[in-house]
Structure 1
């Protein structure tokens, strides 16, 4: 049974990482204000939300399966308080920290109309911290964390997030939270 739980925990952890990567990329693309070929902006937003929820479900399955895995030795307190785990406390602590941030993002996402747009945005900026912490957790504590296939996958995920952020920061980016238009250099008339 431990082998099945280990495989479930491992597989859902990898799937959650990939899905959170897609979610981050879609979130960046949504905020850039530029439409994607063939998809209106609202569709990208809906896909972002659905992928985020799916990633969160995979993360929850990842965590719950590890409660029953004797090798992981996960306790309830380990899901809330970082760096107190019996097994690899630093690396599991990073996972706990990432999970706590996921919870904050998910709760503010669901309560967006209650907490207000400013709080929602500030908490969602936490995903730029959450994601690299989750990647570090996966590399540090994952069974395959240092294997070639997983490092390649982590590299592809990192490249996708970096490319999306660079794309958003280009001078042609337009954000729909007011007017954030490209800065144009005005020619001085002498």
Structure 2
């Protein structure tokens, strides 16, 4: 097998691809939640769900490749039980927790939303934020390319973009729930 298609190369590529898809899904989800996007929300929902599923499938591929890796072997137990890996247990565990949180969010969104109701689903859906953060920390800490300038740039730009969208969403939420110009300190 050529170096381009080696297990090690595919592990690295699938990790970055999973990060890309999950970042895209999170960004689309945040963007579509702005009040000005109400009329276009249905269009964005499809992109949001599709990129999330691509990300989840890419994570599964990443896990399968890690299991097959001969250089840094992982057992199934190390892959699926958080913090049990011999190699970088903390950061491997964050990757495992990230996978489970993404799985819960995507599974609940596509299969159980009607059974749980929107209110409970929204609470579960917020788990995507720690899932994405765990994925980011996992990639930065044990990704073999993470110290490369191009990889750091990807992480920096992605994180900055998500933080800006999240900040804007929080500000909008505060502004919509608290009327502008109303001062509660004076009667």
Q: Identify the TM-score tier after normalising by the shorter chain.
A: 0.7 to 0.9
Which residue in the other structure is 1:183 paired with?
179
Which residue in the other structure is 2:127 paired with?
126
| Over 6 Å off, 4+ runs | none
User: Does the alignment pair 1:153 with 2:149?
Assistant: no
Uncovered stretches (5+) of structure 2, i.e. residues with no partner: none
Counterpart-to-counterpart distance in 2, 1:120 and 1:10: 33
Deviation at 1:148, TM superposition (A): 1.4
Q: Is the 2:18–2:56 contact (alpha carbons within 8 Å) kept by the matching residues of 1? A: yes
- The alignment's C-alpha RMSD in Å is 2.5
SS class of match (2:71) = coil
Counterpart-to-counterpart distance in 2, 1:77 and 1:119: 31
Name whichever structure is richer in helix by fraction. 2
Counterpart-to-counterpart distance in 2, 1:30 and 1:152: 25
Uncovered stretches (5+) of structure 1, i.e. residues with no partner: none
Which residue in the other structure is 1:141 paired with?
142
Counterpart-to-counterpart distance in 2, 1:32 and 1:153: 25
Counterpart-to-counterpart distance in 1, 2:143 and 2:30: 27
User: Does the alignment pair 1:9 with 2:11?
Assistant: yes
Counterpart-to-counterpart distance in 2, 1:105 and 1:168: 19
Q: For 1:88-119, what per-residue CA distance to the aligned partner results, in whole angstroms no more than 9, with x for missing partners?
A: 21111111111111121122112111222222
SS class of match (1:67) = helix
Of structures 1 and 2, the one with the larger relative CO (CA 8 A, separation 6+) is 1
Counterpart-to-counterpart distance in 2, 1:73 and 1:150: 24
Q: Is the 2:67–2:79 contact (alpha carbons within 8 Å) kept by the matching residues of 1? A: no
- Tell me how many residue pairs correspond in the alignment: 183
Q: Give the TM-score taking structure 1 as reference length.
A: 0.86
Q: Please list, as runs of the form range in 1=range in 2, the aligned pairs for 1:57-68 lying within 5 A after superposition.
A: 57-68=57-68
Q: Give the TM-score taking structure 2 as reference length.
A: 0.87
Which residue in the other structure is 1:24 paired with?
26
